[in-house]
Structure 1
């Protein structure tokens, strides 16, 4: 369990932590000289009869150091608010309580300190004052204990309370969660190197793991040399612990407070996020769209602006005490995940305004208030990951990128929840895994069959559209991986048939005229003899003794029926030859990690560079390959030419 202290300056936070743990958390010479905390301090307390340790984060109480307090308070399990008996409730008492509430800290207690300096009646009055203050916060009803760090009065009761709370702290579910640690301190140790410390927010890490530092323009990576969790040497650390990580491969000056240490598959940074926000009830004015704010998330502090999403016809603002959805636009990238707590302070960093929970860390730039987008935010608001995934699939008519969803959730893409029954899934080498909900899958299926019926009615002399054209007719906004998976499922169930690159209803076939059949038989040996070079329409007309106009018409009909393949205008290949060329493309991809370059394909086929490029572009068009920069990547789910090759 991680305990975060909070309270006004000089109310005894550091002294109480020292009395509980024996550790002085003021480590800097300036802190010793001035007698106040400036930086975050850490101490640990062993719980009796268990191997667990309670970690304490001692935060500064000065009003100018609230940003440092926030860096330490994010991720704590238990809030310990301190109020001095001789002073009573002070300004930073109120602000620190607001911070704890807006961070969602609902477990905690209040220690009324320095009771040795006040009369009993004064102590009782402060206890009543504190209880009233808690009433409108997340710590309403929390225990209020009088203590004295100097005399030891009340310390046994406070320790007992903390031990009970530690026993009741639930272990965090780490199944599928990506490791991430909010960096709040960076330093170097002789013989060890660069060390970062922070609270582990999710997942687990072990010695030897490779991690990323986010956000980072340099794409920094580092390897874990050693670990300390809860101030003990360990080989593995997990969520809910204070952790020090010694890193190999990165310099101290390359890392700063506010960055994150994450598993590679959990990498995500953003400059725009949607959040469920509550404006603190003591605020005097509403929070309006366009308001500049300090954004605190994890251990970082960046500037941003707010756009209220749940606006009414009369007000584009969030009223004091109200809860609503907002988009936060950041001045610079930060790392953030769904469920992270975010706190906003005003532009001058003089008071805490609002706080809440990140819903979607990859918020859109446009159409952020449309009914469709608000339905998606309703889905992101569900309480658990499987429910969020099911709701997002139901809200996403054009499918959902599971890689994007897993990244936003901070989950390993290889450990996704079970898909709702009837969902369609697809895997793409470039864009990862996709899913389409059962209802939207049925609608897309109906759209495909309807488009084919219309096409056959309007063009009875054609076999059908190619798959790319059919997609534009039936499901133009469906991502290509899902389109290919949908088409494959329709073929499997016998709802459609595919011949070459063309799709048609099973009952529809292309009928060739006697002239077409005669010319097809005449040119078959010519196409076979041409091999990988292909045959030009004019040459086939000349060698076959036919007019060019008639030959072009017949070739076009044969190509539209899947009998031939027109790679470029007037250049044709037989299906048998194209199957061999496709097999060579697959062979090249197998040797080169899924990639097919023009040079490699030229060498494999023995053709010139120009013809090799023409063939690769044709394979891109029909869906065997996919162009990525200067290379073509094999679509591993494409079944084109596999049957012919077999």
Structure 2
């Protein structure tokens, strides 16, 4: 049977019935903490699994949905963001007796900034609605200028069971038309949960992206750089030999300390392969501040100012950083700006990864953004070459050729092994681009290096002139020593 994994995350205001809906759909109660049971609200991430037949015309296809249930209370938005970094579809939950509320709006802005493009809206507690049509009209109005303007709305009730089967069918229909998560040969597991089992050791969980992990494989934990070996893997409590992109994945790393130790693996760490690059203390980015940020008690509408101390949520990490703009002194609602993020500690992320900016006290979502250069250098930030690189990547964040060409234009020549390692492009895609550029005369491949053709021609001309000058001055020599060209 052909099984296709997808990740679905709930979203919505506190007490709108997200966890109850997940339990009704899957039979699994995602609220696992005693405090959650006592208070009757979700505090941290919860997880469940749902299998649905595909609505597409493919024989024996099954959709395996990993469901991430997020907290809706404003005090726990930081936990919500940790669970939605790799989501294929948002399940917006809006209570019919309450309608659109502050955290519904904030969750919408977060998911939009993270590039989530598909959603289904569950209109819960429909048995309590005084005017169902009016509530649906309000939702359409709120969604109108968002990526989810055409999202289907399904009235539901976990009490009567109304709409639950229709909701499953709608999820299957939307996901059947969704491209599967890409396998680019660069697996990354942002850790969202860590625990220890007696006799087994440390277990980490997360949503796997970018590639496959296998039992027995050696991995590295960023940002610490510690290495480990995967003893076992699980997907939804089932032992497996391999996990791939889009799968909820649990890794048993017996030789690694858990989060109880300051030196142990933590939420926000990234499990990857040793050859996939290293963390960076700074990244150049494009920041975007939603035009929908017009007020509210959280202060999210206030301008984001140059030099601000903020929290960057990327993957499952929550990292203190300062923001430095390339040109402007501040970023206002509805605007965008190039900036450099300088982190309190190194961060492992790829070019084209998206992230969220929140204020230092975690009271407001201030902006979103996309990483353009994951290995930034503050001395290079304001150079014209870097500005050109950032401008082009900002306008073409999915164009592999643009990423290769801008790197060559800035650096002149780069080693071919590891070219654009920290990017969302596969080695084959990058190799194809390099071959195409070389065939067009725009790049030169020589001695394990790739060079910009114009830079290479200028270098050869400079070298030739230096050899001629040395020969005129020292005609008795057999030639110019190599060190003479390096000066």
TM-score by structure 1 length? 0.68
SS of corresponding position for 1:32: helix
Structure 1 residues 394 and 258 mapped into 2: Cα distance closer, same or farther (>3 Å)?
closer
After superposition, what is the alpha-carbon deviation per residue over 1:320-353, rounded to whole angstroms, capped at 9, x for unaligned? Answer: 1122321111112221111211100112211111
| Conserved? CA contact 1:393–1:435, under 8 Å | no
Aligned mates of 1:272, 1:289 — CA distance in 2: 15
Q: Note the 1:346-361 alignment, pairs <5 A.
A: 346-361=359-374
Q: How many residues align structurally?
A: 458
Matched residue, 2:56: none
Aligned mates of 2:154, 2:428 — CA distance in 1: 47
Judge which range, 151-160 or 316-325, deviates more.
Answer: 316-325
Aligned mates of 1:214, 1:142 — CA distance in 2: 37
| Conserved? CA contact 2:36–2:43, under 8 Å | yes
| Conserved? CA contact 2:233–2:240, under 8 Å | yes
The yes-or-no answer on 1:442 pairing with 2:447 is no
| Conserved? CA contact 1:181–1:199, under 8 Å | yes
Matched residue, 2:110: 99
Aligned mates of 1:257, 1:90 — CA distance in 2: 29
The yes-or-no answer on 1:273 pairing with 2:283 is yes
Among 244, 253, 273, the alignment partner of 1:238 is: 244
Q: Note the 1:54-453 alignment, pairs <5 A.
A: 54-119=65-130, 121=131, 123-175=132-184, 177-216=185-224, 219-252=225-258, 253=261, 254-283=264-293, 284-309=301-326, 311=327, 315-381=328-394, 382-384=396-398, 386-396=400-410, 398-403=412-417, 405-409=419-423, 416-418=430-432, 419=434, 420-421=437-438, 422=441, 423-425=443-445, 433-453=448-468
Q: Note the 1:575-614 alignment, pairs <5 A.
A: none
SS of corresponding position for 1:409: coil
Aligned mates of 1:301, 1:147 — CA distance in 2: 34
Aligned mates of 1:54, 1:328 — CA distance in 2: 34
Aligned mates of 2:9, 2:407 — CA distance in 1: 38
Matched residue, 1:471: 486
| Conserved? CA contact 1:403–1:413, under 8 Å | no
| Conserved? CA contact 1:266–1:411, under 8 Å | no
Structure holding more helix per residue: 1
Q: Note the 1:467-506 alignment, pairs <5 A.
A: 467-472=482-487
Q: CA deviation at 1:59?
A: 0.5
Quick check: which has more Rg, 1 or 2? Answer: 1
Matched residue, 1:8: 13
After superposition, what is the alpha-carbon deviation per residue over 1:285-317, rounded to whole angstroms, capped at 9, x for unaligned? Answer: 3322112211101111111111112x2xxx422
SS of corresponding position for 1:460: coil
SS of corresponding position for 1:112: strand
Aligned mates of 2:117, 2:361 — CA distance in 1: 28
| Conserved? CA contact 2:386–2:410, under 8 Å | no
Q: CA deviation at 1:25?
A: 0.5
Aligned mates of 1:397, 1:269 — CA distance in 2: 20
Matched residue, 1:484: none
Matched residue, 2:298: none
SS of corresponding position for 1:95: helix
SS of corresponding position for 2:479: coil
Q: CA deviation at 1:456?
A: 2.4
Segments of 5+ residues of structure 2 without an aligned counterpart are 1-5, 54-59, 294-300
Aligned mates of 2:76, 2:137 — CA distance in 1: 28
SS of corresponding position for 1:52: strand
Aligned mates of 1:290, 1:136 — CA distance in 2: 31
| Conserved? CA contact 1:393–1:436, under 8 Å | no
| Conserved? CA contact 1:279–1:355, under 8 Å | yes
Q: CA deviation at 1:379?
A: 4.7
- Structure with the larger RCO, 1 or 2 (CA within 8 Å, 6+ apart): 2
Aligned mates of 2:419, 2:332 — CA distance in 1: 31
| Conserved? CA contact 2:404–2:420, under 8 Å | no
Judge which range, 46-55 or 183-192, deviates more.
Answer: 46-55
Q: Note the 1:502-581 alignment, pairs <5 A.
A: none
Q: CA deviation at 1:230?
A: 4.2
Judge which range, 3-12 or 123-132, deviates more.
Answer: 123-132
- Let me know the Cα RMSD of the aligned residues: 2.1
Aligned mates of 1:446, 1:435 — CA distance in 2: 18
Q: CA deviation at 1:405?
A: 3.7
Q: CA deviation at 1:50?
A: 2.6
